Structure 1
């Protein structure tokens, strides 16, 4: 077919595989040329060139592009999902990308205790409801391994332990649980090791590009864990503040009741009606509660009004009336 095209005057370029004399194959580019001969007519020739290096570069570039696309997808999923929910499916994708079959991810508290364990097996990652890794290691061993990860950036459990960890015999228990070679990488949050990622590798050493992608994944997970921790702290602070605020409101309400007995029934009626109106408007329970407590203290400014004016049995004079009108301003 190539010869026919060349003899018809068509420019031809093709690529294929040819076997060399030593039996090895090589990628070649074939360029067909047509030129006249003295006797008249024309002849066609095929010029072969070795394109093996170019093909290797192209294949490497394609692998890199596919890897970057996979990492982008994993990163987007991890950031798109809400909080901790995005970590298990992202770890499943990451393990599939690297070929890992078993693994784990753990998170530490600020005091070095394991607070969460994510176990990966048979293509699925789930948050564990019972301790596994924490049952293997005492706290002192966890600190030793974490310090090693902080200094070295990685730990590979294969044939032997690195010198600083030779006394941590229970490390081999991880190898028994998850297989070997087992690569453990640190997860960082706020310049400290806040967790580990461990994956059983299909081969050792792992491709350097894959290990760098795993490092990027750990950084993203560290960001998610930090965000979750801050949310929990904010929620706890809000709960404490809310409880404190309620206590203050109740104290102020009792103080106002002692100041003006008439206000007691009035403030509860206003609070009840305000809550009922907000409920009718379709607001959530948190808002209804805030409205209720606001109703309890809506006359709070009366605390600064003299009792002689608040409890005066007769009609208020002009000056007294001006004073009592300012209770709203004092309350604000």
Structure 2
């Protein structure tokens, strides 16, 4: 809200459009994976600091930062309203979202009967921690793929080199920790050259043009509002316009389940439907402005245009039948 009040065009999950943020999250996910797997120990890490306020704040910050890239399928209306409402009401909406994220912890804290249902501390906690290394490792792999999509392959390879250097340092750290020796100076000596090299090399390697657009069986036209208006009004063709991002899980599910289907492609061809895609993986002021005009805080957004009619906003959970029916209605 502060950025928007200052005139900056940003939308929901705008932080994932920044290559530096993606690399930072990749490093964090890789380090947490190594920690969960038992490679090294971080007894003073804020997100593992027990019941301290700093621990609770760190846990909530990490959860909100990583786990909320999409507005779909349930937050679209609330986030759209937050764009239009005054600041106090918008803050109220964000507070309600925060309450939803914190609700499981609040219930455990204030309902003793629920706490009694939890298993007692024991050896299972160590096994569970190591098991959690699997989803965290998968998160790191997803961030590697996202770094390729945002900055290109050379950028992603340099990010992986940085991660490899840090993990090498943590491996030595873990070995020294298990021998009861002072470990962190060794980590600093190993990690520092990789960090310095990455600080200079990553910006130079950033090349979003080399990432290219993701392939689609529809061969969609890239979003352009002038082309959109010309296609619908001047050429009299229906248009299916969708806005997506590689970091949006709901977007990817809808594309796999509903949009990128051969029967949908055939229906579009038979009905003369033009497919147009807005890729918001990287910051795009034109897309951000258009999303705001549509009352959308982020992606996914699906619009169906028919000549001489108002565009129809489709649900954020699509089915192939929705698209095929509209294409046949042409």
TM over 0.5: no
Say which structure is richer in strand.
Answer: 1
TM-score tier (shorter): under 0.3
Give the TM-score normalised by structure 1: 0.23
Select the structure of larger CA radius of gyration. Answer: 1
Bigger relative contact order (CA 8 A; separation at least 6): 2
The structure richer in helix per residue is 2
